[in-house]
A and B are shown apart, each in its own frame.
Chain A
Amino acid sequence: MKKIYLFLVMLGVLATGCEDELTIFPEDSLSVPTFYQTQVDFEQAINGTYVPLRTIYNQSKAYLGEMHSDNTYYARNTAFGATEQQEDVADFAIPTDNGITTNNHVTNIYVEHYKIIARANQILVTIDEAEFDEAEKNNIKGQALFLRAFSYFDLVQFFGSVPMHLVPVLSREDAALPLSSPDEIYAQIIGDVQTAITLLPPKSQQQAGRVTSGAARTLLANMYIVRQQWAEAETQLRAVVNSNEYELMPNYEDAFSGNSDNKNNMESVFEVQYKEGAEGLNGSFLYNFLPRPITAEEVGAITQTSNPQPLNGEGNNIPTPDIIAAYEDGDLRKDASIQYVTLSESFWRDGTYPIIKKYVEPHSLHGNHGMNFPVYRYSEVLLFLAEALEEQGKSGEALPFLNQVRARAGLGDPVGDLGEAIFRERRVELAFENKRWLDLVRTGRAVDVITAYGNRIKSNPNDYYYPEGAEPRSNAFTNISLTFGLPASESSLNPNF
């Protein structure tokens, strides 16, 4: 019987070790309980927070920000169907029911921005407990605050009221929040960016491509401008100008990133970072912005890759006659921004279309390029400052900043009303940089400008790349709304909208 007793004791000993034996974390991937501990963890986490920007700027942001305006349109390919997602955006015809839409691009923007927000929240909620170098910690925290605010700023401008998550979601119950009003959101993100400015280093001390105190001030100024808080905007913008961290590139065309060079140049305040190659860090937006059908040779002439492929479907983000006409005579930016290609298989006229030249850079392989996409350039800081001053009645102070931008474009003093001149200048200086639609909205011009633009397309479709005999769809320009509907896929899961 002693042996039995011994056996039972053995059992007891085995049993006490259970809980340890039953805790197995995955070995091939990290999990939350073991992550967010060290400096390296947080460096990786902040890097991951930038990543959705690549998706946003590769396609959908350009469609919602630029093609959803009078600057660009699609090049109708009558031989191809299933293009309504893009056409609905460009045609101001996004089916929206009770503030809800199923449009892919609208959904993409929404979903990708909330990825950034969730990743930033995870950092912000855990970083204070980790122990590592304070300067590094502040830098990461500043970037997280910037990126979260940047995303909410896009969301609030595109959608108006949206759910505001400020801590990581941990359960199914926390996943759906009620909508927060634009005022609530601005109050939060203006505060966040103000904090970020104090935490972030200036550009000269930051790794190229990461956000800086200058970028944060520009973002904050942009928020103030949308809120028409001109004096507050002026303060931030003057701080950027006086920081001596930025200068205009001497030539306008050099302001834009090359495939692997000229990235984050002295004019760049913030740009979305891409890298060509097999690592999956590349962009392909140039290809989204080409008219179609286009042969391999014609693609190759533009991209200079070793393996050009023909492209079918429908081309998007094609410059309109309106933007082409918006350049003043002698504006050097016109030829730096737009070029022409001729498509032998096109059904439209002789097949000679304008395309966006800013992003045409030679690269190695088809569909894989490394150009960065500009978000804020120093020239916009100057134009913002001119605008903020002009709006405060300080026209005299505003003009030199505007002229700094115009001079590089080979232009002299503007004519007419200074406010209008600044607005026109923004259109051409920042053409195809996803500014136009939001500028129209914040200045209260959207409905008038787009209605007139829609009428031009409907009366002269052939001028807007419709082949002979093709007509705009019957629903074109029937939904000129200042905000996009919220995604239907979200609405079905969130009881609050």
Chain B
Amino acid sequence: MTKILFGLKTLYFGFALLLTFTAHAQSTTVSGTVTSADDGFGLPGVNVIVKGTTNGTVTDFDGKYSLNVQDANATLVFSYIGFTTQEIPVNGQSVINATMTEDATALEEVVLVGYGTQIKRQVTGSVQTIDAQELADIPVSQVTQKIQGRLAGVQINQTTGKPGQGMSVRIRGQLSVSGGSDPLYVIDGFPISGGINAINPDEIEDITILKDAASTSLYGSRAANGVVLITTKTGKAGETNVSFNTSTGIQYVPERGRIDMMDAVEFAQFKKEYYEDQGDPVPEIFQDPSQYEGKTNDWYDALLRTAPMQNYNLTITSNKDKLKTSVVAGVFLQDGVVLNSDYERYSLRVNLDYAISDKVRVGFNVAPNHIIDNVPRTDGSRGTGILFNALHTWPIMPIYNEDGTRTTFNRFPADTGNIFSYANWLTSAEQIKNETKEVNILSNAFIEYKPIEGLSIKSSINAEFYNSKYEFFSPSTATYRINVPIPTTAEAIWEDENDFSYLNENLVTYTKNFGDHDFSLLGGFTYQKFRRDFSRVAADTFADDRLPTIQGAANINRGGTYDRVQEWSLVSFLSRLTYNYKGKYLLTAAIRRDGSSRFGADNRWGNFPSVSAGWIMSDETFMENQEAISMLKLRASYGVTGNNNIGNYTQYALIDNTVNAVFDNEFAPGSAVSSLSNSNLGWETTKQFDVGLDLSLFNDRVAFVYDFYTKNTTNLLYNVQVPRESGFTNFSDNIGEIKFWGHEFAVNTVNTTGKFKWTTNANISFNRNEVVALAEGIDRVYGPGGWHITKVGEPFGQFYGHLSDGVYLNQEDLDNSPQVPGRSTVGSIKLIDVNGDGVITRGGDDDDRAIMGNPFPDFTYGITNNIKYGNWDFSIVGTGSQGNELLVRHLYSTTNLDGVFNLLSDVKYRFRSEENPGRGFYGTTVGGGNVTGIERDWINDRFVADASYFNIRNITLGYTLDGVDRFFKSARIYASVQNAYIFTKYWGGPNPEISVQNDGNGDGGNLASGVDISGYPVPRIFSLGLNFNF
């Protein structure tokens, strides 16, 4: 949070004194300590000057000062941002101690808004800010991990535990059919082209989330998903600070929440019973299950490890004379909890801000970083993700040979029912390289000119460079697939990506006050351009595993080898008028006009206006007697924003130039139009209305914020199917409507002050959505796997499948119940006849499937407590989500009743006979795939699990060391636990926040969210940290 004192002049006065400090004559020395009335501690950085002179100093870290005073009758002036200035006559004293009290009225917090700042009191939109200082102790690599649960209306999920990856951020539940849903990230005023995973959190000063249309509409066609503004560190006035922070941690996957699979004995017992129930002879290896006692091969566990992590950051900030600088250098090293996974980040940021004269200021920021990460193919469905493969590998298959060496490959004879063979997954994890090396460079330069009072003209140039090299190599001795004998064909993929984004921004701000009327007018013009050059080579069949080079490959895979160029440009005009009357009647109107290369030629420009108003009721005379209420503000806003994530070239009819022919037995290059053009293609439009209330009670001891919003997203980008008589399959159009609404509550309380200082910050959010319309004549869209439905009148992306009702317990039950014709038997799964036609069918819109679950929570919440007592500090952060469900997709293998894979331990309680019906949950194994296939392939409500959770996300205990001031200004030591404990009933895996599509790449898109296929687990982390300030 940025704080400024309206009486900034005193500060400058102070600096001026410092300059002349050495020029004093013979005098007496006055010294003393300046403390804070709040906690009694010494207050560093307080300006102490002799009134009426330029003679002064600044208190040191302990609040001590010493000043030569020439006139014994002089008066000392003590001033500090946010505190009431004090004057104390010297009266010949040589020791003068001062106690500073916080000054609520002189202090005006300002917050960052789009293209400027505003006094927090006067903000009329829905804006929330987090000071990065609060996040410093959390031992994770990504800033989004640190802010989980701290913001009302912002749902952040860690969908996979892969180091450095997997955070999903949704502001106010925004989503779309095929456009992206990630918010726009703006770093120091620069809307970057991607996410913020790569940024060293230690570079960040604060994070501001813009939620409603009034605060985001200045970002126009990119604002519909919300905007996250990030400010990086700058020097604090008058200070030079050098700090070094380091932490080291240990990560591991807790036992709690792991999938309860059969051990070797249980598995052999299952197989034995399988053959017995079938009436077939039991293969020898299953005849005596007890022989496997203590011989379980837990393949999943074998892939996990306890892994170290380390973080080092050196920060230097300085703000002296005309120059403000900050330098942050960081190294973050993390080994993953899955074998052979690791993440390294080396980062640097240099920010400079120089005042050339009173009227002209220039600044330069540059922030390069380098990231290397390697994660074997852990996440993915059967046959594509090593963790899933390991999960369902038979526990009687040996990881190690008798002699202690690793097995290379496991396949049992066909008569054991082993139809899939498996490589040794430990070898796969260790030998398969899946590495990305990135270089990111973010840079800005600006010049600001203030020709007259109240007028500022600022022009900036911003550039973002990104380069990544991806290398995948699976040697002949390893595979991530199943059923691939070792040795196999070695495969490789190389990808090379270069991105460049350039932004020129020109802003004019004019602020003027006429009596009770305050005006501020902003006008701007911006131009941004992005280009990505991407190339990919896929090859296989290498002469030697030690030389995974392109020239070493016998075969280049043409289908996987290509070049891509992606470009877009955006030209924008923007303006905002802010007006207030007597500081209590507030009005803001803003508009942005965006022209984008992504929009069709007949729809190239979009206007994104917003208006908002606020009333500070507590400033009215009739409220004067309400002692308890220190501030009450009512807010309302309405505006239009867009989502331009519609693809760069979707509007064009593209030519496919790989439609090649043959003539005279020779290759003949050919081309054909491969898509329909749409010159009217445009952004997705979101119209949002927000009402809010800010209430502070008991002298700001309690601060409460409430918001209600409702928004409608229309013109969703959608690939409408067209009849293929046209020669095409679909047409990209703006179609359909989704309605969103929600409530957000946040409260901050100062529970105790003084030596024992305790603050609490809590929030809860309720987000809802409903599909209002899809394309003409279409009332539903199925997800990619067919397990989700997005249907008019229902919330988006609901789980869709059959509803189950136990198993058919006996012949009578079977005869009297609807059946799957030719497949249902006594003991097989009993499904509900939803369409009432007397039989159970699957396929088409009118079959027996129904909505069976909802991936969206009823509400999400977070609570943070901070306690300070003397030198001790303690904080605990909890985050939760209630009512959300997950589709436990791995059950199609892990409850496969044919005994092909290892199974959930609970499958032992399946139906075996009328006399032994088990728990009426898992069906009979008799009848083969014709019978058992229904249970696993016809996704049903048994796959849906409640994933509500409350996670003690972080606990930190710190101690500030005394008596170190000979060496450092200050030093602090702390211990921290991340993901300390998760309270949940979720049984499908260790991570109730998981969401992976069946291909294991990314979060599956909005049409298919909330799927668990046993991805990379999220570790618990114990860490120890040290902070030094020099």
Q: With A18-B595, A207-B663, A209-B662 given, is the CB distance from A25 to B652 under 8 Å?
A: yes
* Chain A residues whose C-beta falls within 8 Å of the C-beta of B678 in the assembled complex: 171
Q: With A30-B657, A31-B653 given, is the CB distance from A175 to B563 under 8 Å?
A: no
B717-736 vs A: 1/0 string, CB under 8 Å? 00011111111100101000
Beta-carbon contact of A28 and B670 below 8 Å: no
Rounded to whole angstroms, the CA-CA distance of A10 and B525 in the bound complex is 10
Closest partner residue, chain B, to A46 (CB atom): B670
Beta-carbon contact of B659 and A51 below 8 Å: yes
Whether A14 is near chain B, meaning CB under 8 Å from some CB there, is yes
Beta-carbon contact of B451 and A4 below 8 Å: yes
Rounded to whole angstroms, the CA-CA distance of A110 and B663 in the bound complex is 25
* Chain A residues whose C-beta falls within 8 Å of the C-beta of B656 in the assembled complex: 29, 48
Beta-carbon contact of B597 and A489 below 8 Å: no
Q: With A4-B508, A171-B676, A209-B662 given, is the CB distance from A41 to B671 under 8 Å?
A: yes
Rounded to whole angstroms, the CA-CA distance of A207 and B668 in the bound complex is 11
Beta-carbon contact of A264 and B664 below 8 Å: yes
Beta-carbon contact of B665 and A47 below 8 Å: no
Rounded to whole angstroms, the CA-CA distance of A377 and B663 in the bound complex is 17
Q: With A1-B451, A24-B569 given, is the CB distance from A33 to B661 under 8 Å?
A: no
Q: With A33-B652, A170-B676, A177-B725 given, is the CB distance from A15 to B573 under 8 Å?
A: yes
Residues 232-281 of A contacting B (Cβ, < 8 Å)? 260, 263-264, 273-275, 278-281
A1-21 vs B: 1/0 string, CB under 8 Å? 101100100110011001101
Whether B506 is near chain A, meaning CB under 8 Å from some CB there, is yes
Interface hub of B563, B595, B648 (most chain A Cβ within 10 A): B595
Whether A119 is near chain B, meaning CB under 8 Å from some CB there, is yes
CB distance from B719 to the nearest CB of A (A): 11
Beta-carbon contact of B720 and A172 below 8 Å: yes
B589-615 vs A: 1/0 string, CB under 8 Å? 000000111010100100000000000
Beta-carbon contact of B654 and A30 below 8 Å: yes
Closest partner residue, chain A, to B731 (CB atom): A172
Whether A174 is near chain B, meaning CB under 8 Å from some CB there, is yes
Closest partner residue, chain B, to A264 (CB atom): B664
Beta-carbon contact of B725 and A279 below 8 Å: no
* Chain B residues whose C-beta falls within 8 Å of the C-beta of A4 in the assembled complex: 451, 455, 457, 508
Beta-carbon contact of A114 and B727 below 8 Å: yes
Rounded to whole angstroms, the CA-CA distance of A245 and B678 in the bound complex is 47
Whether B694 is near chain A, meaning CB under 8 Å from some CB there, is no
Closest partner residue, chain A, to B649 (CB atom): A26
CB distance from A166 to the nearest CB of B (A): 12
Whether B547 is near chain A, meaning CB under 8 Å from some CB there, is no
Q: Choose among B604, B654, B659, B728 the residue that contacts A48 (Cβ–Cβ < 8 A).
A: B659
Rounded to whole angstroms, the CA-CA distance of A47 and B667 in the bound complex is 10
* Chain B residues whose C-beta falls within 8 Å of the C-beta of A121 in the assembled complex: 727
* Chain A residues whose C-beta falls within 8 Å of the C-beta of B653 in the assembled complex: 31-32
Closest partner residue, chain A, to B732 (CB atom): A172
Beta-carbon contact of B667 and A44 below 8 Å: no
Whether B758 is near chain A, meaning CB under 8 Å from some CB there, is no
Whether B558 is near chain A, meaning CB under 8 Å from some CB there, is yes
Beta-carbon contact of A32 and B673 below 8 Å: yes
Whether B147 is near chain A, meaning CB under 8 Å from some CB there, is no
CB distance from A154 to the nearest CB of B (A): 14
Rounded to whole angstroms, the CA-CA distance of A18 and B604 in the bound complex is 11
B498-509 vs A: 1/0 string, CB under 8 Å? 000000001010
B16-46 vs A: 1/0 string, CB under 8 Å? 0000000000000000000000000000000
Q: Choose among A119, A169, A170 the residue that contacts B672 (Cβ–Cβ < 8 A).
A: A119
Whether B565 is near chain A, meaning CB under 8 Å from some CB there, is yes
Whether B119 is near chain A, meaning CB under 8 Å from some CB there, is no
* Chain B: number of interface residues, binned into ranges: 35 or more
Rounded to whole angstroms, the CA-CA distance of A18 and B601 in the bound complex is 13
Q: Choose among A1, A51, A119 the residue that contacts B673 (Cβ–Cβ < 8 A).
A: A119
Q: Choose among B597, B652, B670, B733 the residue that contacts A51 (Cβ–Cβ < 8 A).
A: B670
Rounded to whole angstroms, the CA-CA distance of A3 and B667 in the bound complex is 63
* Chain B residues whose C-beta falls within 8 Å of the C-beta of A494 in the assembled complex: 723, 725
Whether A27 is near chain B, meaning CB under 8 Å from some CB there, is yes
Rounded to whole angstroms, the CA-CA distance of A41 and B673 in the bound complex is 12
Rounded to whole angstroms, the CA-CA distance of A208 and B663 in the bound complex is 6
Beta-carbon contact of B595 and A22 below 8 Å: yes
Beta-carbon contact of B733 and A163 below 8 Å: no
Beta-carbon contact of A169 and B676 below 8 Å: yes
Whether B449 is near chain A, meaning CB under 8 Å from some CB there, is yes
* Chain B residues whose C-beta falls within 8 Å of the C-beta of A114 in the assembled complex: 724-727
Beta-carbon contact of A21 and B672 below 8 Å: no
* Chain A: number of interface residues, binned into ranges: 35 or more
Closest partner residue, chain B, to A30 (CB atom): B655
Beta-carbon contact of A11 and B652 below 8 Å: no
* Chain A residues whose C-beta falls within 8 Å of the C-beta of B723 in the assembled complex: 163, 175-176, 490, 493-494
Whether A370 is near chain B, meaning CB under 8 Å from some CB there, is yes
Rounded to whole angstroms, the CA-CA distance of A393 and B653 in the bound complex is 54
Q: Choose among A110, A168, A370 the residue that contacts B724 (Cβ–Cβ < 8 A).
A: A110
CB distance from B620 to the nearest CB of A (A): 39
Whether A59 is near chain B, meaning CB under 8 Å from some CB there, is no
Beta-carbon contact of B727 and A117 below 8 Å: yes
* Chain B residues whose C-beta falls within 8 Å of the C-beta of A41 in the assembled complex: 671
* Chain A residues whose C-beta falls within 8 Å of the C-beta of B652 in the assembled complex: 25-26, 31-33
Closest partner residue, chain A, to B776 (CB atom): A172
Q: Choose among B451, B655, B733 the residue that contacts A172 (Cβ–Cβ < 8 A).
A: B733
Whether A210 is near chain B, meaning CB under 8 Å from some CB there, is yes
CB distance from A185 to the nearest CB of B (A): 13
* Chain A residues whose C-beta falls within 8 Å of the C-beta of B597 in the assembled complex: 21-24
* Chain A residues whose C-beta falls within 8 Å of the C-beta of B667 in the assembled complex: 275, 279, 281
Beta-carbon contact of B660 and A279 below 8 Å: yes
* Chain A residues whose C-beta falls within 8 Å of the C-beta of B671 in the assembled complex: 30, 35, 41, 44-45, 47-48
CB distance from A82 to the nearest CB of B (A): 12
Whether A324 is near chain B, meaning CB under 8 Å from some CB there, is no
Beta-carbon contact of B725 and A18 below 8 Å: no
Q: Choose among B567, B596, B664 the residue that contacts A207 (Cβ–Cβ < 8 A).
A: B664
Rounded to whole angstroms, the CA-CA distance of A49 and B663 in the bound complex is 13
* Chain B residues whose C-beta falls within 8 Å of the C-beta of A35 in the assembled complex: 655, 671, 673
Q: Choose among A26, A51, A176 the residue that contacts B648 (Cβ–Cβ < 8 A).
A: A26
Q: With A26-B649, A30-B654, A31-B652 given, is the CB distance from A175 to B564 under 8 Å?
A: no
Whether A115 is near chain B, meaning CB under 8 Å from some CB there, is yes
Whether B52 is near chain A, meaning CB under 8 Å from some CB there, is no
* Chain B residues whose C-beta falls within 8 Å of the C-beta of A23 in the assembled complex: 597, 601
Whether A165 is near chain B, meaning CB under 8 Å from some CB there, is yes
Whether B420 is near chain A, meaning CB under 8 Å from some CB there, is no
Closest partner residue, chain B, to A276 (CB atom): B665
Whether A122 is near chain B, meaning CB under 8 Å from some CB there, is yes
A167-194 vs B: 1/0 string, CB under 8 Å? 0111110111100000000000000000
* Chain B residues whose C-beta falls within 8 Å of the C-beta of A311 in the assembled complex: none
Closest partner residue, chain B, to A208 (CB atom): B664
Rounded to whole angstroms, the CA-CA distance of A274 and B666 in the bound complex is 9
Beta-carbon contact of B654 and A29 below 8 Å: yes
Beta-carbon contact of B669 and A44 below 8 Å: yes
Whether B86 is near chain A, meaning CB under 8 Å from some CB there, is no
Q: Which residue numbers of A lie inside 8 Å of B, CB to CB?
A: 1, 3-4, 7, 10-11, 14-15, 18-19, 21-33, 35, 41, 44-51, 110-111, 114-115, 117-119, 121-122, 162-163, 165, 168-172, 174-177, 207-210, 260, 263-264, 273-275, 278-281, 370, 489-490, 493-494
Q: Please provide the 9 A-B residue pairs with the shortest distance between their CB atoms, ordered closest to farther.
A: A118-B727, A47-B670, A48-B670, A30-B655, A169-B726, A209-B663, A48-B659, A48-B672, A175-B726
Q: Which residue numbers of B lie inside 8 Å of A, CB to CB?
A: 449, 451, 455, 457, 506, 508, 525, 527, 529, 558, 563-565, 567-569, 571, 573, 595-597, 599, 601, 604, 648-649, 652-657, 659-673, 676-678, 720-728, 731, 733
A-B residue pairs in contact (CB < 8 Å), sample of 5 = A25-B652, A118-B673, A176-B725, A176-B726, A490-B725
Given contacts A35-B673, A47-B660, A210-B663, 18 further A-B contacts (CB under 8 A): A15-B571, A15-B573, A33-B652, A44-B670, A47-B661, A48-B670, A51-B670, A51-B672, A165-B725, A165-B727, A171-B731, A172-B733, A175-B723, A176-B723, A207-B664, A263-B664, A274-B662, A279-B558
